[in-house]
Structure 1
């Protein structure tokens, strides 16, 4: 074992002991975070507007700080963009993370030195937890690929603007820089296909042991690697590749295709970073879910997902959450986000310690008929059906078909890009439909009552989803395709890609 590997084991044990202390005292940890945030936010414009001086506990906080989305915070953000200080957080943020919005257009999420330090610490903690539990350290001596957005910054505002992954690249610890790929110059390439080709040139002959990125874009990198080298799989190209780190989407629908492409099973670590904060990370290869990052400058709130659109929904802190119940996630952060609805839904799979799974997006659902089918349910149904039928799927999108052009009863239309040839579409549609009924009682009632017919699968051409994302200027980086819609906007745009 190398000196670096030996030291990593000792350091991992030290850090994991610290993690155990705060994760075993979750309510105390959150109360400390809450107190610190309120104190630091008290003299900001937002704090004065919302009577922070009157806030003594969580109940008084809820009375003074309503739940907000980006549109609600936008007037404050615009002042920060103009260079005004002490608006949401003391001083000016160090950066804005620019993300793709919907109704708001581009969103500018503030990142402070405090929040960025926690982003980097959480990513490091995820790897150290893996080392401490598995005692596997060989990967630390190899090269590591991080597929990410460009680190180039826009300095036209008073605060530099970039993509979160690109911003974080400026703050990677020096001890990782030697092993890190691709180069800064390659990371700055905007066009994703050109960037992938450059990454392949830099990495194909290296000793790659760890790869990190959003699964569909890593899959694209793998496919082009195999095409370039003529090898059968990734294991032949990178025989020492042993650890995959990912986040952003549910990996399970990709796993079968992914491991088939690699040619062997590899360990993986799931993380839950967002521009708004590093929310959770996988701390165990044995336990389900991600450890909620409760000691990292974020005070968490939760709204039951089925109440989210009510006039006066319940709003609770960590101590009142329940197992296996979907919650909309609300954040208060050391970057100055207050009562901020991030748009994700999570479900607790453990309360000791607090571990979550991401169950979907609060606005990404299909409920044209009152069925309210969510991401967790369609991911589950597709995964189980494809496993049983030994079918591989690259990507998919689900939308309601309210007025079928062929006439008849309405249905859910699934646009699916298969990597397995000769799929019996009717058989897999029936399998998915049955599994979905088992997960969602509303959907089952509509099916039994003949308000919905069996879902229909529309197969798409190879690389259809990549081609679609390219057509809308969102190929690669941190961009993700919504898997569920309550309208047919994306469905109609996928029409040219049908087989």
Structure 2
């Protein structure tokens, strides 16, 4: 009998808390579990978690009594105390680990608390995702027992006053269970390396000695690694050295812009598995083959709320208005953009994570990431989302048969009106004017508001094509290489200032 046709015993299914169909019940159960665990913390006492638990409608009571937090607010009011070593602030005990997360637009690092309860919940979700491979057809089972190359942050964490901090990928690798160690590559020694270039060189050096079945990481950095291996050993494809490579587990950004360039490095088709693993928790994962979305984790360690991403709830800067509309899982609709609020087993309460999502299949609870609350363009009401941009790039690159792995867009004044300026990464021969016209036309088809404004206040669209290495060089200069770092699709604020300096040769 094939491995993935085996039915799980009830005891195993119960222990893994595999989901049932009642999403509202699942989420209320998770909320009550979180509230019970944290009711004696300072946060739980302040916001009367016991009273919420005794309510007939704990979900609604929770929303009424606990405010919405962004990072700055929750850090200023609560989390700063945990960094000072105080226990029982937002979650029982002392916080010993923090994931450093600067996102793609912030200049200073954010300290996101990581607890053993959160890591335990993340591990449960990882196991569920692995078990979900039984839903895939004709998968090469032999590859599952091969090496897993996970390219992330350094496991050599920074030591603070009673805590350690670093990339979540580094913390996760450092805390990986013993049974996973034989499969884990590049191994503990290389994983500790903080210098991304040195780490990459070590991986390339050891590549012939590994039999890799899975690669896991952000598409841009995995692609760079594979290109270096192919170049070093003068290979035709990565399968010349890793014939059993059959899976790529990716997340954090849309894979579509990278797919054409990525597949040039392959000798055979592989299975792509999308995940949504943020510093704050394991939020969703693809659990069936060829799915357009990822299954939202509803039955484990995260309570979700959803704020409609519109001008009733967000201002022009992407900041929440006072008293926004917030929905629970049973109240959402398919096809609408929502900003995600999460409460987790690390003392993250009603936290605006900054991502926007859309339900593609409410019954299956499947979502896609559509962008960031701060990463959209609406200078004059064009309401252009990252999802719109990704779709336009994907369609146009296919039409022109070119690879566009990176891009970013800037909104700026143009005379008395406004313009968008695209910067596109490609090493292919591209007519920039043709590309500009095609992207503009495609966005008019995708987004009605954009089409209207292109005939009004959005007077012009500019586009420059740059080598892919220029994008990577900028990320290196900003100290945002490897791990979970992604190039921002929309540039604003300090990142935009630095980008303009970089293009002039002034950023060193």
Contact 1:85–1:91 under 8 Å retained in 2: yes
1:47 aligns with 2:49: no
Give yes or no for the alignment of 1:478 onto 2:478: no
TM-score w.r.t. structure 2 length? 0.91
Contact 2:135 2:289 in 1 (8 A): no
Q: 1:453 to 1:263 in 2, by over 3 A?
A: farther
* 1:48-63 correspondence runs (5 A): 48-55=45-52, 56=55, 57-63=58-64
Is 1:152 paired with 2:156?
A: yes
Partner in structure 2 of residue 492 of structure 1: 500
Which of 368, 391, 395 is the aligned partner of 1:357?
A: 368
Deviation of the 1:133 alpha carbon? 2.7
**CA distances 1:143-168 after superposition (whole Å, capped 9, x unpaired):** 22010111112332222222211111
Query: Which deviations, in whole Å up to 9, do the C-alpha atoms of 1:12-59 show, x marking residues without a partner?
Result: 798996679524221111111111111222111111222223212122
The answer as to whether partners of 2:96 and 2:162 remain within 8 angstroms in 1 is no
2-side partners of 1:233 and 1:399: how far apart?
Answer: 36
Q: Distance in 1 between matches of 2:233 and 2:180?
A: 28
State the 1:70 CA deviation: 1.0
1:80-479 matches, within 5 Å, as: 80-100=82-102, 105-134=108-137, 136=139, 137-306=141-310, 307-308=313-314, 309-403=320-414, 410-421=418-429, 423-449=430-456, 451-479=457-485
State the distance in 2 between where 1:220 and 1:118 align. Answer: 31
Local SS of the residue matching 1:399? strand
> SS of 1:477's equivalent?
coil
Whether the 8 Å CA contact 2:153–2:483 is kept in 1: the answer is yes
Give the TM-score normalised by structure 1: 0.92
Report the secondary structure of 2:458's partner residue.
coil
| Partner Cα separation in structure 1 for residue 100 and residue 114 of structure 2 | 10
CA contact (8 A) 2:17 2:299 kept: no
> Aligned partners of 2:478, 2:232: CA distance in 1, in Å?
26
Q: More deviation in 86-95 or 333-342?
A: 86-95
Counterpart Cα distance in 2 of 1:12 and 1:388: 46
**Structure 2 unaligned regions, length at least 5:** 315-319
Please give the root-mean-square deviation of Cα atoms over the aligned residues, in Å. Answer: 2.3
**In terms of mean alpha carbon deviation, does 156-165 or 385-394 score higher?**
156-165
Q: Which residue matches 2:70?
A: 69
- Secondary structure of residue in 2 paired with 1:201: helix
Q: Work out whether residues 360 and 367 of structure 2, in 8 Å CA contact, stay in contact via their aligned partners in 1.
A: yes
Distance 1:13 1:361 in 2: 40
How has the CA–CA distance of structure 1 residues 398 and 491 changed in structure 2, closer, same or farther, with 3 Å as cutoff? farther
Q: 1:317 Cα deviation (Å)? A: 0.7
Distance 1:138 1:375, change over 3 A: same
Aligned length: 489
For residue 473 of structure 1, give the secondary structure of its aligned residue in structure 2: coil
8 Å Cα contact 1:12-1:128 kept in structure 2: no
**Matched residue, 2:81:** 79
CA offsets per residue over residues 301-320 of structure 1, 9 Å max, x none? 01001123333321111110
